[in-house]
């Protein structure tokens, strides 16, 4: 079965992709009648060397993304994974020569078709009197024994674009640029690994892997690698790759050793998530620095892809200060990353977090009776939530991901562990503030955030007073914060329904002579009734709001949990 691709036609996809790039980049122009993109300011290159590269399409942003001042003058593209036509290569050479350049350097990846077609175009151009040189880049470090065809050209070619571009921009001559980039090419290596294959538009995947396998040392055209290995962690795979690349018994190794200074390039082969790319980058930095290697620059992103292949390649280039200046030189190429000219190794990567604000002494802790009462309340709440874990999970399966009970139990266990460390603060404001931090850190999910918001806001009115009116105001403040940030309202089938119903009853605490337990009893009963009523509501917030109301036949688990917490508090105060 062929893979799905967002294309207009298989035959025209390379043309359409190049046209789209040029349409959105005013610094580029197409060469009429050819699949060629050139700098739109060609006339400004008079008296300098032009740089042309290219190859099959499907490796974007290579190579057209690297056209610009300080990098390539132009690119010749073939069909997907197919070398460009000789006629188009020759047309590009003629175009840059016509603009007054003093010679053209062809930068070619080491593949048979590219070598032949670029080589033939070079010979034809030279026959016309146009000075043209060609460098063939092979940076593949996969094969332990050198092949007759040489090392394949991979992502390291992009670094050659950068070095050659900086030299050309500085006015260096054609032969000298060719000489210098040939030296640089021998000081680098690249190795790829992939979780699966890719597929050319209109075709099936180029190879298949088992669910527990990855391909090591593969090329950028979907061709198989040197061996298959079992799936492992990012750290383990990066270590394996670097071991292979730097093994001196490997004929294509990179001579990196402790004390070496390198440019590190982590390249997305097309289908890897940015999350995974960051993890691989971190693993590579740690592994290299653990070997005593200095990372002068780190380039992370998509530079040379293989369509949608979910994999990465690592490139290491040995550098000294003169070479590093060429890497750092200015460029306007759209796909080159804006990297600070600062060494990665030795840079301070973290800053000390600000200290927590100092709390005022807990003036209400005298005698410890209030603190003991707080502990009893919390213990009862925890045991209640732990007992409800399976029931809440069952309620949540209809409208969520079935973990409401697990989330509340996680909070309960965190509170129990916290209580083992010592008595809780007797000050209500301090207690609520500490519980807020604890739940935000340990409970997780939206419930943890909502309870954290509620408790943080509720603590504020209790800093000055702890009277019944202050407790009522605390409830009001907590509910307001939940509504403001949670975007829920009473009737939306959430935990807010229970808390809101209780809060309305607690308004009675603001009246002189209000009875604590009498009012709280009414509040708990109202909360329980509100929780039960949520089974007849259409969800207006949370995950349940995306579920058909026909499937919501049970009470909201968050509302049930909130009512149960209030019931537990009441039971302790009544005893």
Active site residues: 221
Query: Rounded distance, CA 503 to CA 432, Å?
Result: 17
At 546, is the secondary structure helix, strand, or coil? helix
Full DSSP string of 129-164: T--EEEEEE--B---SS--TT-PPP-THHHHHHHHH
User: Is 495 within any annotated ligand binding site?
Assistant: yes
Q: What tokens does 288 get?
A: 């290299």
Token pair, residue 411, equals 């909070």
Radius of gyration in angstroms for the set of CA atoms belonging to the chain, rounded to a whole number: 33
- Sort strands 261-268 and 294-301 into parallel, antiparallel or unpaired: parallel
Q: Which helix (H) or strand (E) holds 475?
A: helix 468-486
526 among annotated binding-site residues: no
The answer to whether 43 is a known ligand-binding residue is no
Is 54 annotated in a binding site? The answer is no
Structure token digits, residue 477: 């403040």
3-class DSSP string for 197-265 = CCCCCCCCCCCCCCCCEEEECCCCCCCCCCEEEECCCHHHHHHHHHHHHHCCCCCCCCCCCCCCEEEEE
Does 199 count as an annotated binding residue? Answer: no
What tokens appear for 522 in the block?
């009414």
**Dist. CA 1–CA 19, nearest whole Å:** 29
On whether 59 is known to bind a ligand per the annotation, the reply is yes
DSSP state of 368: S
Q: Is the CB of residue 119 less than 8 Å from the CB of residue 89?
A: no
Place of tokens 């593969």: 218
CA distance 136 to 32: 27
The reply, when asked if residue 401 is annotated as ligand binding, is yes
Which tokens go with 484? 């403001």
57 among annotated binding-site residues: yes
Q: Which of 221, 210, 133, 143 is nearest to 172 (CA)?
A: 133
User: Residue 324's CB: how many other CB atoms inside 10 A?
Assistant: 17
Q: Distance between CA 284 and CA 344 in Å, rounded?
A: 12
Contact 158, 111 (CB under 8 A): no
Q: Is 253 part of any known ligand binding site?
A: no
| Alpha carbon distance 166, 453 (integer Å) | 54
Residue 209 in tokens: 């892997």
The answer to the question of whether 447 is labelled as a binding residue is yes
The annotation status of 114 as a binding-site residue, yes or no, is: yes
Q: What are phi and psi of 142, to 5 degrees?
A: -75, -40
Q: Is 476 annotated as a binding residue?
A: no
Is-contact 557 447, C-beta < 8 A? no
Phi, psi of 451 (to 5 degrees): -65, -40
Omega before 63 within 30 of 0, i.e. cis? yes
Instruction: Please tell me whether 404 is known to bind a ligand.
Output: yes
Find how far residue 550's CA is from the centre of its chain: 37
Q: Cα(338)–Cα(251) distance, rounded to whole angstroms?
A: 34
Note whether 344 and 350 are within 8 A (CB). no
Question: Do the Cβ atoms of 555 and 398 come closer than 8 Å?
Answer: no
Residue 403 annotated as binding site: yes
Return the bridge partners of 264, or none. 298, 316
- Which residue numbers belong to the known binding site for ATP? 401-404, 446-447, 486, 494-495, 556-558
- Which residue numbers belong to the known binding site for dihydroxyacetone? 56-59, 109, 114
- Which residue numbers belong to the known binding site? 56-59, 109, 114, 401-404, 446-447, 486, 494-495, 556-558
């Amino acid at each position: 079965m062929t893979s799905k691709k967002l294309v207009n036609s298989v035959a025209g996809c390379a043309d359409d992709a190049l046209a789209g790039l040029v349409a959105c980049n005013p610094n580029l122009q197409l060469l009429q009648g050819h699949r060629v993109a050139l700098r739109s300011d060609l006339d400004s290159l008079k008296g300098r060397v032009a740089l042309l590269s290219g190859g099959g399409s499907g490796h974007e942003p290579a190579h057209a993304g690297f056209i610009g001042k300080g990098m390539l003058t132009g690119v010749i593209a073939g069909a997907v994974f197919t070398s460009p036509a000789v006629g188009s290569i020759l047309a590009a050479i003629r175009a840059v020569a016509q603009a007054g350049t003093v010679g053209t350097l062809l930068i070619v990846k080491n593949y048979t078709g590219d070598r032949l077609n670029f080589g033939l175009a070079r010979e034809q151009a030279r026959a016309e009197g146009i000075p043209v040189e060609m460098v063939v880049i092979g940076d593949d470090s996969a094969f332990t024994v050198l092949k007759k065809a040489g090392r394949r050209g991979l992502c390291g070619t992009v670094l050659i674009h950068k070095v050659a571009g900086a030299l050309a921009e500085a006015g260096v001559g054609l032969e000298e640029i060719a000489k210098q980039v040939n030296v640089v090419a021998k000081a680098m290596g690249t190795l790829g690994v992939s979780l699966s294959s890719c597929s050319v538009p209109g075709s099936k995947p180029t190879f298949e892997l088992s669910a527990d396998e990855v391909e090591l040392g593969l090329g950028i055209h979907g061709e198989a690698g040197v061996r298959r290995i079992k799936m492992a962690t990012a750290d383990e795979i990066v270590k394996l790759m670097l071991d292979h690349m730097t093994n001196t018994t490997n004929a294509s190794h990179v001579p990196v050793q402790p004390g070496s200074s390198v440019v590190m390039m982590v390249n997305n082969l097309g289908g890897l998530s940015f999350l995974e790319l960051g993890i691989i980058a971190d693993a590579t930095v740690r592994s290299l620095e653990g070997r005593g290697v200095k990372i002068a620059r780190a380039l992370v992103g998509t530079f040379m892809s293989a369509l949608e292949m979910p994999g990465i390649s690592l490139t290491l280039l040995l550098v000294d200060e003169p070479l590093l200046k060429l890497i750092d030189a200015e460029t306007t190429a759209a796909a080159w990353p804006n990297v600070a000219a600062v060494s990665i190794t030795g840079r301070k990567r973290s800053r000390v977090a600000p200290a927590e604000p100092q709390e005022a002494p807990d003036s209400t802790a005298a005698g410890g009776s209030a603190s003991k009462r707080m502990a009893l309340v919390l213990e009862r709440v925890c045991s209640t939530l732990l007992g409800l874990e399976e029931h809440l999970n069952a309620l949540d399966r209809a409208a969520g991901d079935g973990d409401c009970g697990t989330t509340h139990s996680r909070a309960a266990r965190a509170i129990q562990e916290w209580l083992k460390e010592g008595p809780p603060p007797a000050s209500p404001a301090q207690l609520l503030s500490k519980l807020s931090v604890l739940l935000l850190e340990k409970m997780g999910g939206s419930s943890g955030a909502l309870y954290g918001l509620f408790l943080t806001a509720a603590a504020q009115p209790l800093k000055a007073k702890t009277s019944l009116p202050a407790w009522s105001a605390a409830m009001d403040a907590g509910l307001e914060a939940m509504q403001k940030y949670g975007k829920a309202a009473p009737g939306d089938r959430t935990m807010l329904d229970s808390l809101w119903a209780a809060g309305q009853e607690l308004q009675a605490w603001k009246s002189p002579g209000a009875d604590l337990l009498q009012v709280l009893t009414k509040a708990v009963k109202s909360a329980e009734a509100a929780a039960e009523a949520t089974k007849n509501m259409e969800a207006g917030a949370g995950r349940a709001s995306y579920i058909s109301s026909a499937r919501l036949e049970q009470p909201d688990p968050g509302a049930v949990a909130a009512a149960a917490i209030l019931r537990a508090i009441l039971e302790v105060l009544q005893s």
